[in-house]
Amino acid sequence: MLTADDTAESAIRAMKLGAADYLTKPFNIDEVKIVISTILEKTKLKEELNYLRKTGPASLGQSVVGSSPVMQQILEKSRKIAEAKAQTVLITGESGTGKEVLARYIHNWRHLRQSDETEYAPFISINCTALPENLIESELFGHAKGAFTDAKADQKGMFELADGGTLLLDEIGDMRHDLQSKFLRVLEERKVRRLGGRIDLPIEVTVIATTNKDLKAAVLNKEFREDLFFRLNIFALHLPPLRERREDIPLLAEYFLSHFSHKYNKNIKSFSPEALKVINAYSWPGNIRELRNIIERIVVLENEEIIKPHHLAMGLAAEEAVAETQQGINWLALPEEGLSLEEVEKNLIRQALERAGGNQTKAAKLLNISYDTLRYQVKKYDLK
């Protein structure tokens, strides 16, 4: 409601009739934009919340695909963290391993399982590397009117907007050192002060930080505050790369195939056995993100019902793509620049041990070598 009538009676009547906010003239266009943006975001979040409640708590785990023992342990640990209402969580792992997906899983498990919860719980994500340095402080903490040249109205920061829900700080390892101290203060006091403001505002928010960096090494190199690392590391989850949980690769591939076939209205049903061997043989340096992108590209460009190895070749890195499949053996194409035979051997032995669950006798059979030879290689490469 936008009006020149600033009486309390008018405001009360407008709100009773369904107005989401009440602004009086003369108005500030930036303030109007902020109000509208906030209303739209609330509406979207409420719609998502209603949908998830209708589908039931069982649907909360569908966003995280994985049956490997390591993923099951991570999900169990995540549920315990969510149910304990931990205020700070750190998720580490290589780029593309699904850190944000796991963060949303924790958020959903904490908030959307509570059927008696009437208020929506916002999930707000901010990438610490995507914003210009001169804006990130204002985005995180908000600013007061007149704090800087373009600050024509008070504005809430991400912490305030996420109040009652979850704030995801992506790539926190790249946060400026001077901001780290302010961020630590917010974590410890659970209060935020807007840029140029004078009042500390209490907040109730779960902070989930993610990074692909080794924060311990960053602390030793004086690139990351030690006290902040200890504060974040209370509840820590590490997502392993896809190459270390190969049992999940076929599941993820089928999941993405079904998802994108439906999205693009295609009738692509499955992978051929040879294509699955190619997928399993590849090391996936880009992890789940790379797998997702390749399958989306194939679904868009191809029309055959079954995906074959030659469909995959256009997306996989040339130095690791499978050149052909003969007698059940996947042959790797030798890259032009060459490779380390020892590293290939070490990697294959590690894969065999993982697939055999650490049983060296089974691993030796998978590699078609003797038990003694495998023991020698395990000792040689220090594979424990």
Report pLDDT digits (tens) over 154-192. 888 889 888 889 999 999 998 888 889 888 999 999 999
pLDDT, position 230: 94
Beta bridge partners of 279: none
pLDDT, position 32: 86
d(Cα 27, Cα 153) in Å, to the nearest integer? 11
pLDDT digits (tens, 9 = 90+) for 12-56: 888 888 888 888 888 888 888 888 887 887 777 666 655 555 544
State the CB neighbour count (10 A cutoff) for residue 358: 10
pLDDT, position 46: 67
Phi, psi angles (nearest 5°) of residue 14:
-60, -45
pLDDT, position 142: 86
Question: What pLDDT tens digit does each residue of the chain (384 aa) get?
Answer: 888 888 888 888 888 888 888 888 888 888 888 888 878 877 776 666 555 555 444 444 446 888 889 999 999 999 999 999 999 999 999 999 999 999 999 998 888 765 444 456 888 888 887 777 777 788 888 888 877 777 778 888 889 888 889 999 999 998 888 889 888 999 999 999 888 888 888 999 999 999 999 999 999 999 999 999 999 999 999 999 999 999 999 999 999 999 999 889 998 989 998 888 889 888 888 999 999 999 999 999 888 899 988 888 656 654 344 443 333 444 455 666 667 777 778 888 888 888 888 888 888 888 888 888 888 888 888 887
- What lies within 8 Å, CB to CB, of 357 at 6+ separation is none
Are 93 and 238 spatial neighbours (Cβ–Cβ below 8 Å)?
yes
pLDDT digits (tens, 9 = 90+) for 96-106: 999 999 999 99
pLDDT, position 49: 57
Burial class of residue 237 in the structure, from the number of CB atoms within 10 Å of its CB (0-12 exposed, 13-18 middle, 19+ buried): buried
Q: How wide is the angle at C-alpha 232 spanned by C-alphas 226 and 236, nearest 5°?
A: 120
pLDDT, position 332: 56
d(Cα 223, Cα 235) in Å, to the nearest integer? 21
pLDDT, position 319: 39
pLDDT, position 137: 81
In three-state form (DSSP H/G/I as H, E/B as E, the rest C), the secondary structure along 202-257 is: ECCCEEEEEECCCHHHHHHCCCCCHHHHHHHCCCEEEECCHHHCCCHHHHHHHHHH
pLDDT, position 219: 93
d(Cα 19, Cα 90) in Å, to the nearest integer? 39
